């Protein structure tokens, strides 16, 4: 298992990079968000990696942070989510946003990724909801994504309360998404209701 690569960036594209480590140039497939976080060609960088070995292929996937790396492993553990879909999701959503979408059941957030349809998006939220909902802190592999999931727990409760008051899932999620996720649930609900009311004026 290659956990990370540190070295000079030899080439950089929106979906891949070549990083020189110990005289060897490694070609790594990356999400576009990681490409934007890398320094220009010639700069020094660290990519956190996942090595995928199949019968016909050996591929190396790289990420700008350990949170992205952990999210990629979590996403590709879902049936039907391959590396290509995992990279596409991480190109449009941050690890924090992924944890929030899973916790709140917002499967539509995943359809923003190229190649992820509504059915696959629903499967992602369903298969990972318990994992995220019970707190990712128990899984060292998921690293700091746990902090996002724990704060997202209160967010999910606030969204659930708004839905029970008659607001749609998307309306509730949008109202809560504008707020500080670390606030108490009661405060999130109060501020979200105020935001919705102001938006309707």
Q: Does domain 67-199 have CATH number 3.10.20.600?
A: no
- Does the pTM of the predicted model rise above 0.75? no
> Could you read off the pLDDT of 25-51 as tens digits, one per residue?
999 999 999 998 999 999 999 999 999
Helix extents (H) in the chain: 32-37, 66-76, 83-92, 95-104, 118-133, 145-164, 169-177, 185-199
The least confident of 13-22, 63-72, 111-120, 186-195 is: 186-195
Give the span between the Cα atoms of 71 and 92, in whole angstroms.
13
Confidence (pLDDT) at 111: 92
Q: Contact at 8 Å (CB) between 72 and 42?
A: no
As annotated, the residues of the chain forming the CATH 1.10.150.20 domain(s) are 67-199
Q: Which CATH superfamily is domain 4-64 in?
A: Nucleic acid-binding proteins (2.40.50.140)
């Amino acid at each position: 298992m290659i956990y990370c690569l540190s070295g000079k960036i030899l080439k950089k594209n929106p979906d891949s990079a070549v990083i020189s480590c110990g005289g060897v140039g490694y070609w790594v497939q990356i999400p576009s968000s990681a490409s934007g976080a890398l320094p220009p060609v010639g700069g020094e960088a660290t990519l956190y990696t996942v090595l995928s070995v199949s019968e016909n292929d050996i591929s190396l996937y790289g990420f700008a942070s350990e949170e992205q790396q952990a999210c990629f492993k979590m996403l590709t553990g879902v049936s039907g989510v391959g590396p290509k879909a995992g990279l596409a999701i991480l190109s449009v959503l941050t690890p924090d946003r992924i944890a929030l979408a899973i916790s709140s059941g917002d499967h539509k957030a995943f359809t923003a990724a190229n190649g992820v349809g509504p059915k696959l998006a629903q499967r992602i939220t369903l298969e990972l909801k318990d994992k995220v909902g019970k707190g990712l802190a128990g899984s060292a592999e998921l690293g700091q994504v746990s902090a996002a999931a724990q704060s997202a727990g209160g967010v999910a409760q606030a969204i659930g309360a708004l839905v029970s008051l008659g607001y749609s899932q998307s309306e509730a999620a949008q109202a809560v998404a504008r707020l500080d996720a670390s606030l108490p649930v009661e405060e999130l609900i109060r501020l979200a209701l105020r935001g919705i009311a102001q938006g309707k004026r």
